Amino acid sequence: MHTAEHLSKLAQQDRDHLWHAMVKFNEQASPLMAVSGDGAWFTAADGNRYMDGVSGLWCLNLGHGRKEIAQAVYDQLMNVSYFPLTMSHEPAIELSAKLSELLGAPYTTFFTCSGSEANEAAFKIARQYHAQTGKPEKTKIISRYRAYHGSTLGALSATAQANRKLKYGAGAPGFLHVPPPYPYRSSFEDDLAAANHIENVIEWEGADTIAAVIIEPFISGGGVLIPFSSYLQRVSEICQKHDVLLITDEVVSGFGRTGKMFGFMHSEGVQPDIVTMAKGLTAGCMPLGATAVQTYIYDAFKQAETGSHFRHVSTFGGHPASCAAALKTIDILEEEQISDRVARLSENMMKELHELESCPIVGEVRGVGFLYGIEVVTDKETKEPASEDTMLAIVGACKEKGLIIGRNGDTVPGYQNILIIAPPLSSADEDLRFLIDTLKQAVTDIC
């Protein structure tokens, strides 16, 4: 039981000691503090109940209170509380084998603690792989504008969101950025033209200097950009042609979020060289990241010469309890057929959300699975992005009605005008009904 006195003390300690992520300083602000959760909902310290329409940070895919996951973590901690992967433990072995099965090809997995770290490992692996297969000049990494790949130095350098980089310096060298497929605002005639531009950059830079292309199958935090399946197919063909590794960043789109186990599976014939994962891997219950590489890449690290092994370590990467949480999460995803349910329910969700396009300030609704973006504008003809005040008004109106939604904050200067909805994959039918009705009311009230 949280007394008023205790809550007041916590609020003061919060102001005095806690540094919040992605939040501008406001002395008068009182951040929402959760005290309990159940399914897609949480109760805040003020006694109000909210539906989490963005799954925390796109990760609480099975909602709060999954006792099976909590029990798996408890059992593991009572058995082996910690053991480093400089050696081995059973949950990591079982999880790496299961990931290979889910990915549909032989993969070897390196475990970390987060998506940022998973991508950092992927970049180092890609560069070292080329160096050990006779092409040491292949070091450059191509990523796309508006994409997010993490906050650590290499991952932030791959991230092509200008506002995320302000005041942090030039970043790591060797990262190139290309435009994404984005029909609503793109200068390309279609998605294939956007894909072909990647080949142009590879040729202009020199294919012998390009190590990898990293792609979110569906750009998430940068505005929920949804390409046609032919886009990733074409990018895969280009990478194979030029001996460039294809890295798919599945941190958001993996584990059922898009209606398939992984986002790349929406594109027939695509089998990434490297797949990075986090977030939904444990349904947000424990920190865990993973970098899975096709076996032929791992084979290049089996050389006996000095420095040929992967000289990278993460103290808590692949923690036994985190791996146990991931294994139980995957069990639930399979037993409850979560991906199929998301694919089925998303058809009606998209149909209803598209109705918002009749509103004068809604330029476009985009989505796949349980991942939706609503681009808000001041004028449909000019596509001028909505103001900060308009975006805050919509987000605030949803919150007042008991719904938490997101927006693409701190991304592209002047284009932070996209509402983001990503409910837990296990949300009940009535939860989704509440989400749609509340969102529609909030948007139409502003219209």
Range of the domain at 172: 67-335
Q: What is the per-residue pLDDT for 325?
A: 98
The pLDDT of residue 189: 84
Q: What DSSP character marks residue 181?
A: P
pLDDT of residue 317: 98
Q: 58 with 169, same domain?
A: no
Among 412, 418, 406, CA closest to 375: 418
Q: Clarify whether residues 25 and 96 are in a common domain.
A: no
Q: Which residue has the higher pLDDT, 54 or 30?
A: 54
Point out the domain boundary residue: 294, 310, 335: 335
Q: Residue 129 pLDDT more than 70? A: yes
* pLDDT tens-digit readout, 387-400: 999 999 999 999 99
Residues 274 and 297 in one domain: yes
Residue from 87, 157, 164, 149 nearest 118 by CA: 149
Residues 237 and 107 occupy one common structural domain:
yes
217 plus 243 within the same structural domain:
yes
Count of domains forming the chain: 2
Nearest-10 Cα torsion for 411, 414, 415, 419: 90
Domain harbouring 412, CATH code = 3.90.1150.10
Final residue in a domain of this structure, among 310, 335, 360:
335
Same domain flag for 72 and 8: no
pLDDT exceeds cutoff 70 at 64: yes
pLDDT at position 134, please? Answer: 97
Q: How far apart are CA 165 and CA 142, in angstroms?
A: 17
Q: What is the pLDDT of residues 311-355, one digit of tens each?
A: 999 999 999 999 999 999 999 999 999 999 999 999 999 999 999
Q: Domain check: are 394 and 309 in the same one?
A: no
* pLDDT exceeds 70 at position 235: yes
Do residues 267 and 394 share a domain? no
Assign residue 101 the CATH number of its domain.
3.40.640.10
Q: Are 19 and 136 in a shared domain?
A: no
- Based on the domain organization, do 300 and 201 belong to the same domain? yes
- pLDDT, position 58: 96
Residue 109 near residue 292, CB atoms below 8 Å: yes
pLDDT of 83: 98
End residue of a domain, out of 284, 306, 335 = 335
Indicate if 149 and 39 belong to the same structural domain. Answer: no
- In the structure, what pLDDT confidence band is assigned to residue 24 with cuts at 50, 70 and 90? confident
Q: What count of residues does the chain have?
A: 447
Residue 2's pLDDT is 77
Whether pLDDT at 1 is above 70: no
Average pLDDT for residues 258-283, to the nearest whole number? 98
CA atoms within 13 A on the CB side of 434: 20
pLDDT of 303 above 80 = yes
**pLDDT at res. 23:** 87
With 80 as the cut, is the pLDDT of residue 26 above it?
no
If asked whether residues 414 and 265 sit together in one domain, one would say no
- Predicted local distance difference test score (pLDDT) of residue 311: 95
8 Å CB contact between 338 and 256: yes
Element holding 74 (H helix, E strand): helix 67-79
